Amino acid sequence: MRFYNQPHRFYCGIDLHARTLAVCVLDCDGTAVSHGTIAASPAAFLKAVEPFRDGLAVACECMFAWYWLADLCHEEGIPFVLGHALYMKAIHGGKAKTDKIDARKIAVLLRGGMLPQAYVYPRGMRETRDLLRRRTFLVRRRAEALTHLVNTNSQYNRPPLAKKLAFAANRAELDLPARFTDPSVRRNVELDLALIDAYDEQIRAVELYLTRAAKVDDPQAYARLRSVPGVGAVLGLVMLYEIHDVRRFPEEGQFLSYARLVRCAHESAGKKKGTGGNKIGNAHLKWAFSEATCLLLRSSERAKAWLARRERKHGKRRALGALAARLGRAVYHLLRKGEAFDEQRFFAS
């Protein structure tokens, strides 16, 4: 957890909403010099903080509408701090909870150096990252439709499907009238097939756009990610955009924690209380490393042998988690050191 602890003359806490802003400005002594609710517009915000622009710092909680405020502060030269939503427990406690109270609590945390920071992803790359995340959403919805189709086949005890329906050619050979005699069931399956075809078309289009138009600030880092067996053009872009700058992680442990590849121990008075923090970190990067691990197993016999040895001792689930964490460490170091992936070195120990 990182805290913002830079001194300023004024500290502005904002409880951010789509249409309104609750703004509280504290001076260096902790006195509220401005406290109210304004419209969520650049003009209204700049007018509200105009008397305090000299030495002002602005903070808000990380929620879906923070992009425009961060960009505005960057353009105006105002230090902007993004609060980590899961760590900001202080604004959720208390007997009373209103927008104005939350704004004051954010300002107090900022002034006291206790505001947990989230990463302010730079403008110009956020848009492509969000498109990559949307593509992942479509892939998952497509997988759900495929799963529902297979489950429907099992539900009515039809013969097992001989080929994977993920491929369009295999779906074309599916004889619906003979397999499903009931009209409603057949219509249900036809709906799944129509959705899958539509998802295929949109996913292909967005992948083509991304591979042609995605901005790659560091082509060497992208090439190093692509050197990992099984990591293709799109998955490499997902990892590149979710990591962005590996130098923001001073140690590999911080990177693995951010990618949700390690468990955090809970201890008290020398007693272990289990683990926690499984939902703190980047879920999209976690998914990317899970996919990369499965693709590595497909393309590497050494990876299969390593997993088999680990699986006999710890079970399949823990073995896959260990391989994903191992791959995360390798990616961290190849990006930090500027090296390509070396499979022999990866499995040396």
Reported as a single tens digit per residue, the pLDDT across 21-45 is 999 999 999 999 999 999 999 999 9
Question: What was the pLDDT predicted at 271?
Answer: 77
92 vs 188: which has the higher pLDDT:
188
Q: Name the percent of the chain lying above pLDDT 90.
A: 71
Helix then strand count (H, E) for the chain reads: 14, 9
In this prediction, residue 207 has a pLDDT band, given cuts at 50, 70 and 90, of very high
198-201: long-range contacts at Cβ-Cβ below 8 A with a sequence spacing of 24 or more? 199/138, 199/139, 199/141, 199/142, 199/145, 200/142, 200/168
Q: What count of other Cβ atoms lies within 10 Å of the Cβ of residue 23?
A: 26
Question: What was the pLDDT predicted at 263?
Answer: 79
Question: What was the pLDDT predicted at 331?
Answer: 94
The answer to whether residue 243 scores a pLDDT higher than 80 is: yes
CATH fold of 3-116 reads Nucleotidyltransferase; domain 5 (3.30.420)
**What's the rounded mean pLDDT across residues 293-297?**
94
**What's the rounded mean pLDDT across residues 252-268?**
86
Question: What was the pLDDT predicted at 15?
Answer: 94
**What's the rounded mean pLDDT across residues 6-35?**
95
Q: At 216, which helix (H) or strand (E)?
A: none
Average pLDDT across the chain, whole number: 91
**What's the rounded mean pLDDT across residues 262-281?**
75
Question: What was the pLDDT predicted at 335?
Answer: 93
**What's the rounded mean pLDDT across residues 216-236?**
90
The answer to whether residue 273 scores a pLDDT higher than 80 is: no
CB-based contacts of 241: which residues, under 8 Å, 6+ apart? Answer: 125, 128, 129, 132, 214
Q: Which of 176-180, 242-246, 300-304 has the lowest mean pLDDT?
A: 176-180
Q: Name the percent of the chain lying above pLDDT 70.
A: 98
The answer to whether residue 172 scores a pLDDT higher than 80 is: no
- CA dist 12 and 72 (Å) reads 14
Question: What was the pLDDT predicted at 90?
Answer: 67
pTM: 0.87
DSSP per-residue string spanning 150-184: HHHHHHTTPPPPSS-TTSHHHHHT--HHHH--SHH
